[in-house]
Amino acid sequence: MNAMEWEHLPEPDLTGRTVVMTGASDGLGREAALQLARWGAELVLPVRSRSKGEIVAQRIAHETGRPDAVRLTHLDLADLDSVRHGADEIARTVGDRGIDLLISVAGVVSRRRGTTADGHELMMGVNALAPLLLTELLLPRVRERIVIVASQSHTFGRIDLSDPHFRRGGWSLRAAYGRSKLSTMLWGRDLADRLQARGTGVDLQLVHPGWVLTNLQNATGSARLDRLVTDVTRPIAMSAVRGAAAVLMAATQPLPPGSYIGPDGRGALRGRPTFLRRSPAALDRELAREVAAWARTEVGLADG
Ligand SMILES: NC(=O)c1ccc[n+]([C@@H]2O[C@H](COP(=O)([O-])OP(=O)(O)OC[C@H]3O[C@@H](n4cnc5c(N)ncnc54)[C@H](OP(=O)(O)O)[C@@H]3O)[C@@H](O)[C@H]2O)c1
């Protein structure tokens, strides 16, 4: 367990608990899935690539000795129809047992302005809007906790609800990724508050995993340059195994509702998971309500 730097927290027992987690086909989500399975969880993993999902499922079966620990479903977060169908498939797969933990890890960095099947700016669509829709559609089945991976990059995001998808210009990787993650922090905060007010017994936690060496860093457009960036940053950034620790803490430890968990090192780049401070914008309850209402309308939820 030392590789996870988990030794300062009690190890959970997730035997018989159902965990639904996106983003488990690669990166830090893959490592988090393995650890959750080691702790006994039954995993339902919605993935867009069946073949990548099967590799993860085989690894988990091999390492845990539980051939049925993982069930795969299909989900493409860049297409809200796929999210609706994906939520139905997840609901059928978990059946009456429901979902103990719903964890949204999947995310994307794009070096050019792309769009989703619904015409949304790609990072806004995949990182913020689709996870909101998936969460809301599955909410009635969640029994314990929702975990949403956002990012400390929310600190350089700016909300502009007059042009949220950069259709009038101003797109840059930094501006769009930051905006997508700030939007996630805001709807996450709003939903955490609403869950608490409703007294549902379900809470919501937000996560920044730290600076983690994964595919996400490969955004230069050149394989050689990507390798160079990876080599240069290797001594500073965390491995995917260690990057999973904040997700695992947020998923399994007793925490105040609506906490924001990430590494304790300088700039929240690396370290052991702890409580992080968020930007003033991410703490703005009025902005959170506005962004959540906008996002709910954008994904076609009735009471947007
Ligand atoms: N790495 C960091 O330094 C860092 C820092 C802060 C926050 N984060 C956040 O941490 C999360 C995980 O990132 P990572 O670093 O592990 O990146 P990664 O290695 O690129 O993994 C991203 C995961 O998201 C999935 N995904 C991407 N687009 C998808 C889509 N349209 N539909 C369904 N799944 C999709 C990928 O599936 P495929 O396998 O099919 O590609 C993969 O499983 C992201 O939300 C990211 O923003 C990462």
Residue 147 within a domain: yes
- Ligand 1 within 6 A of 52 CB? yes
Cα(first)–Cα(last) distance of the chain, in Å?
44
Residue 9 within a domain: no
Q: Which helix (H) or strand (E) holds 73?
A: strand 70-74
76: left (phi over 0), alpha (psi -120 to 50) or beta: beta
If you average pLDDT over residues 231-236, what whole number do you get? 82
Residue 5 within a domain: no
Query: CA separation (Å) from 11 to 36, 73, 260?
Result: 10, 28, 20
pLDDT at 1: 45
- Its pTM stands at 0.96
Name the residue with the closest Cα to ligand 1, atom 38.
Answer: 25
Which residues have CB under 8 Å from 8's CB, separation 6+? 272
pLDDT at 4 over 60: no
**CATH number of the CATH domain containing 179:** 3.40.50.720
Dist. CA 236 → ligand 1 center (Å): 20
Q: Strands 18-22 and 42-47, how do they pair?
A: parallel
pLDDT at 160: 98
Q: How far apart are CA 268 and CA 207, in angstroms?
A: 11
pLDDT digits (tens, 9 = 90+) for 60-111: 999 999 999 999 999 999 999 999 999 999 999 999 999 999 999 999 999 9
pLDDT at 7: 53
Dist. CA 199 → ligand 1 center (Å): 32
Q: How far apart are CA 133 and CA 128, in angstroms?
A: 9
Residue 7 within a domain: no
Inter-residue contact 247 to 103 (CB < 8 Å): yes
Look over the chain and give the mean of its residue pLDDT values, rounded to a whole number: 94
| CA-CA-CA-CA torsion sign (30, 35, 37, 42) | negative
Compute CA 169 distance to the chain's CA centroid, rounded to the nearest angstrom: 27
Q: How many domains does the chain have?
A: 1
Residue 214 within a domain: yes
Compute CA 108 distance to the chain's CA centroid, rounded to the nearest angstrom: 10
If you average pLDDT over residues 1-28, what whole number do you get? 82
Active site residues: 177
- Ligand 1 within 6 A of 12 CB? no
Between 3-7, 34-38, 132-136, 145-149, the lowest mean confidence (pLDDT) is in 3-7
Residue 8 within a domain: no
- Share of residues in the chain with pLDDT > 90 (%): 87
If you average pLDDT over residues 2-18, what whole number do you get? 76
pLDDT digits (tens, 9 = 90+) for 108-145: 999 999 999 999 999 999 999 999 999 999 999 999 99
Range of the domain at 65: 14-298
Residue 68 within a domain: yes
Q: How far apart are CA 290 and CA 276, in angstroms?
A: 23
pLDDT digits (tens, 9 = 90+) for 203-222: 999 999 999 998 887 777 78
42: left (phi over 0), alpha (psi -120 to 50) or beta: beta
- Residue 182 pairs in a beta bridge with none
Dist. CA 197 → ligand 1 center (Å): 31
Which residues have CB under 8 Å from 112's CB, separation 6+? none
Q: How far apart are CA 242 and CA 210, in angstroms?
A: 9
Could you tell me the pLDDT band of residue 2, with boundaries at 50, 70 and 90? Answer: very low
Burial class (CB in 10 A: 0-12, 13-18, 19+), 269: middle
Q: How far apart are CA 137 and CA 299, in angstroms?
A: 11
- Ligand 1 within 6 A of 177 CB? no
- Share of residues in the chain with pLDDT > 70 (%): 97
Residue 145's SS3 state is strand
Residue 219 within a domain: yes
If you average pLDDT over residues 263-268, what whole number do you get? 93
Q: How far apart are CA 293 and CA 279, in angstroms?
A: 20
Residue 79 alpha carbon, nearest atom of ligand 1: 31
pLDDT at 242 over 50: yes
